[in-house]
Structure 1
Amino acid sequence: MPETLPTVLDIEASGFGRGSYPIEVGIARADGSCCAFLIQPLEEWTHWDPKAELLHGISRDRLQREGYPVRQVALWINDELSSVGKAYSDSWGYDNTWLSLLFHHAGIIPGFRLEALRILLNEAQLGLWSDTKEAIIGEQGIHRHRASEDARLLQLTFARTRALTNPHAS
């Protein structure tokens, strides 16, 4: 029986550093399916880095039009992840900060833990990670810096590096 994939969460944000906030949350589920929600910025969330917008291609106007309220997104994330218990992120420091901000403003306690994806990787996987990730981007035409696509890319990279370093694992 094949091992299941880790559930991976990725967040796109208004920028980095002080005042930044989450604008999109994506999840790659253990079965490989993905989902994502754009987040409507709160009035006090004013930080906007044009360089970040160039990366993810999501405008603040689009978030106002198509984004979901903070509380609704937090409830959705809990619905997705409470039964799993944990999700993994490749940028834990940033993603955990943005997730905490989202849940704080929603007035909801997360029903899961976010952990660093790195804790699942052995040294051999770490050594292959970057080249494997780039190969998958090329093969699959993945659009980087969108939350669900980035989460799925991490999941695929995890699976391939695991298979390459432990052929009996898949």
Structure 2
Amino acid sequence: MVEDARFEDGGERPLHLKALDAEDLGVFSALIQDAVVPVAEISYDAGKRRFAMLLNRFRWEDVEAAQARGRAVERVQTVLLFDDVIKARSMGVDGRDTDTIVSVLSLAFVAGEDGTGRVDITLAGDGAIALDVETIDATLKDVTRPYAAPSHKVPTHEV
């Protein structure tokens, strides 16, 4: 008998995922919510049509296991990469201020014509990054071992 993968199945292994449609981006959005990233670790290469961010991702998939075992909640450095990016622009983010750290709230896709569209990366504090894409072609990959979250707390949001 074949079973679907469960969210808990990824708790102990590094992520290496591919997004090819809006539904996949929704999964990425949930996984990178509350990630923090120095502005210096955000780049766009127009020649290669590639946008990348090196995130310090909160490991949402591991929270229950960490709490059940009495160990610290964790973060991990993760690359978020978009290919086939036609144009990248930002609001509320000064690329020259490389000491600034931003927090990712969500990813969303706004469809255009013939498979094109825009990926919106919403940041805390009214910041945003918009990527005009030819198609959704994104990768999310953990690139370090998890480490104890410096705050030792699960991120929370006021409603």
- Which TM bucket (shorter chain)? under 0.3
Question: Which structure shows the higher strand fraction?
Answer: 2
Alignment TM-score, normalising by the size of structure 2: 0.25
Question: Which structure shows the higher helix fraction?
Answer: 1
